[in-house]
Structure 1
Amino acid sequence: PFTLKNMNIIDIFCGTGGFSTGFEATGEFKVKVGLDVLGDRLKTFKANHQFACVIEGDIRKYSPNTFSKITGMAPSDIDVVIGSPPCQGFSSIRPFRSLTVDDPRNTLFESFALLVQFYQPQFFVLENVVGLITHQQGKTIQQMIETFETVGYKTDWRIMNAVNYGLPQKRERVIMIGRRGASSIVFPQPTHFFEGRSMAPLNHPKLIRTYPLMDSKLPPAISVMDAIHDLPNLKSGEESKHYRTDISPTPFEWVRRKNVQKLTLHKSTAHSSKMLEIIKHAGSNIAALPPGMVESGFSTSYSRIEANEPSVTLTVNFVHPASNKCIHPYQDRALTPREGARLQGFDDDYIFKGNRSQIVKQIGNALPPLLGRAIATALLD
């Protein structure tokens, strides 16, 4: 069995570092390198992974040899390569045998694959949106698998919903895992029961889900209020730096709070009087508003998240009700950055760097640490 203490990770397209934080939470992995093009994300990544080498740049600009020199990481130093290549990396994948390392046409995905080929880690993990499975009628994902198999990796993928792994949010992702050689690949089993729709067809063979008869013994999915009810009530534009003392935190809230004494990022958006009027009338979707109150919007705009079930997928605009469903279940305001961070499963001591709008985007875009942890645990098994 594969039992190395402190396996080393490279995280490409690392963002704020949520994914790698999940890996490190197992106690068995160490993040050695993070690369991203966005400087504000990297400041947050660096603040939480102090010993990692951080590169701000485009992976296509670094040959694997150059990358190795800059980071000081030789192939023998790295056990796992993880990453979330942006979707635009898939439109023009070519047969891997014809790729050359310094071809300026390399896509983001191809550069990720070249790095895997160079480092030959025990595992790689690639995360992406569910839309990837239908991209070019499924040819794209097949070509990705063939690419990795060409360089020696048994590769498989599943559609995973973070709600099944203890996140108070429905957030589905395609997770592709490669293992060097011909060994089998293990995906994590759900730890929480949730009966909800998927973006994938119902009986899709790659969809990991829970079934009423088999899995109802699992604890139920964590609800929104299970995750944020220890945070004080706020009006629009208000801020609080203290946790509520009149209630007991839930187990989920206790774990997120660690030993933090001072509440941070719990400041609500200062809404306009027009928006406040809309918020007062808001229900579970835009149709709940009185006719004529808003001119246009998505069906989920200007709507409240349900208190007693997991939240909808957070977007990068979760403090602005005009673009998505993000109004607090009971209070007349959008979610605060802290509430968003809770729904993404970040501990309250996670350090976010940047201005408010950058931090909101960082939180909304992140890969939940709890999903990273579940995947990392499956690799260890």
Structure 2
Amino acid sequence: MSEKYNVLDLFCGTGGISYGLTSADPSFQTVMGIDMNKSACQTAQANHKHANIVCGKIEDIDPATIKEKIDVIVGGPPCQGFSSLRPSRGKNLEDPRNSLYKSFMQYVKVLQPKVFLMENVVGLVNANGGLLLEDIQEGFDKVGYVVDWRIVNAANYGVPQKRERFILIGIRKDLGFTEVLFPTPTHYFSGKVIGTKLKDKHIFNTDSGCPAVTVWDAISDLPSIKSGEEATHYQSTPLNEYQIERRKYSVETVNLHQAANHSEKMLEVIKHSGSNINALPQGLVSSGYSSCYSRLGKDDVSTTITVKFTSPASSKCIHPLDDRSITPREAARLQGFDDHFIFCGSKTDIATQIGNAVPPILGSAFANVFLSILRKDI
């Protein structure tokens, strides 16, 4: 029997990263998760049945009270103050949410896992002129870790979405590693990205492996429905490997495939929508970002799924063919969640959980890198 490695998921939300690790290899077992959002904790508990999911503020929970040996810590401290979606990113460093990385660091210091992964928004790289990132790296160095970071694109690892994230990995110094490895991309993608001036820190793959999974690859087995409608059965058997994987533990029924009930005015906007807001006839809407009121490209990778994926006025979320925004099930597919994954809470809660999650498939991509560290066979 192979050795088990205990995973602690901080700021766990739905538990997407740890779910990805445990799905990729049974050697990983999530023993604990912490988050302050009640419905997200219910979701994490429903999908990590043997874990202790604690609902509370991480800064109020003493890591010294955790008695299990922790091998891996993963998590994404909220850093809304410098999200790449906010034009003023980096100016709100006094925002208390931006210091929660210190709580993450304290857990690492006390529990001394062999390896940890901290994920965040790309905007962290340039926050406060790069000084915040320097502070984070120096802090982990002082508590005994070799660290390095990269900007990764979920599309390069089999997620049908060009979701870019900052990933920092730390390895405990006594294990003898002098450099940090990152997973090799499995899929190629060459669309527009946020990027960073530090090209050596950005993992690109535009030509090797498999083509990126498209929107239609992800959702084409889900039935066509209209605004306000719901469907509970699949339209067809799985049509490709991606759909086979997402449905491997599901029966004939599908849940959360319910379309938002749009107003007549919004339906008129949706009917004219195209790849960006400029596709609309002049005067149909008064304002909005270029990506608002626009359709996802059928044969393209999805843009980043946000918590507003049912609102065309807030994001690029209109179905490629149907005149409606995407359903929670379609959003979950684009985020790489398996269809049997259980979501708890209200419709708004579930939309928030899906939009905020780290795609489990991205978590899975780090499994082999972590195992090579934990088993010291690099």
Query: Taking structure 2 as the reference length, what is the TM-score of the superposition?
Result: 0.91
User: Which runs of at least 4 in structure 1 moved beyond 3 Å after TM superposition?
Assistant: 88-93, 104-107
Distance 1:316 1:302 in 2: 15
Distance 1:89 1:157 in 2: 20
2:101 to 81, 92, 109: 109
Counterpart contact for 1:10–1:82, Cα < 8 Å: yes
Partner of 2:167: 175
Counterpart contact for 1:164–1:221, Cα < 8 Å: yes
Counterpart contact for 1:186–1:379, Cα < 8 Å: no
Counterpart contact for 2:80–2:98, Cα < 8 Å: no
Distance 1:89 1:202 in 2: 21
Structure 2 residue identity aligned to 1:63: D
Partner of 1:100: none
Structure 1 residue identity aligned to 2:204: R
2:182 to 180, 187, 191: 187
Task: Please identify, of 352-361 and 195-204, the stretch whose mean Cα deviation from structure 2 is larger.
Answer: 195-204
Distance 2:78 2:249 in 1: 35
| Paired positions, count | 357
Partner of 1:305: 296
SS at match of 1:42: helix
Distance 2:142 2:63 in 1: 17
Counterpart contact for 2:256–2:328, Cα < 8 Å: yes
Counterpart contact for 1:89–1:109, Cα < 8 Å: no
Distance 1:219 1:293 in 2: 40
Partner of 1:254: 244
Distance 2:271 2:81 in 1: 42
Partner of 1:359: 350
Structure 1 unaligned blocks of 5 or more: 94-103
Partner of 1:34: 33
Structure 2 residue identity aligned to 1:140: L
Structure 2 residue identity aligned to 1:24: T
Encode CA deviations 1:38-80: one digit per residue, 9 max, x unaligned: 0010000000001111111111112322x42xxxx24xx1101
2:254 to 238, 260, 263: 263
Encode CA deviations 1:101-139: one digit per residue, 9 max, x unaligned: xxx999311111111111111001100000000001111
Of all paired residues, the percent bearing the same amino acid is 47
Partner of 2:369: 378
Structure 2 residue identity aligned to 1:47: A
Distance 2:354 2:339 in 1: 12
- Residues 4 and 150 of structure 1: CA distance in aligned 2, closer, same or farther (over 3 Å): farther
Distance 1:353 1:106 in 2: 27
Query: Taking structure 1 as the reference length, what is the TM-score of the superposition?
Result: 0.90
Structure 2 unaligned blocks of 5 or more: 83-91, 373-378
SS at match of 1:316: coil
Partner of 1:96: none
Partner of 1:51: 50
- Residues 51 and 248 of structure 1: CA distance in aligned 2, closer, same or farther (over 3 Å): closer
Structure 2 residue identity aligned to 1:153: Y
Structure 1 residue identity aligned to 2:344: K
> Do structure 1's residue 87 and structure 2's residue 79 form an aligned pair?
yes
**CA apart distance, 1:88:** 5.5
Distance 1:133 1:107 in 2: 15
- Residues 211 and 284 of structure 1: CA distance in aligned 2, closer, same or farther (over 3 Å): closer
**CA apart distance, 1:202:** 6.2
SS at match of 1:351: coil
> Do structure 1's residue 135 and structure 2's residue 127 form an aligned pair?
yes
Distance 1:13 1:61 in 2: 13
Trace 1:262-281 onto structure 2 (pairs within 5 A): 262-281=253-272
Partner of 1:328: 319
Distance 2:124 2:97 in 1: 21
Partner of 2:19: 21
CA RMSD of aligned residues (A): 2.0
Distance 2:235 2:183 in 1: 35
2:142 to 144, 150, 153: 150
**CA apart distance, 1:5:** 2.0
Distance 1:92 1:239 in 2: 43
Distance 1:259 1:211 in 2: 32
**CA apart distance, 1:92:** 6.1
> Do structure 1's residue 165 and structure 2's residue 157 form an aligned pair?
yes
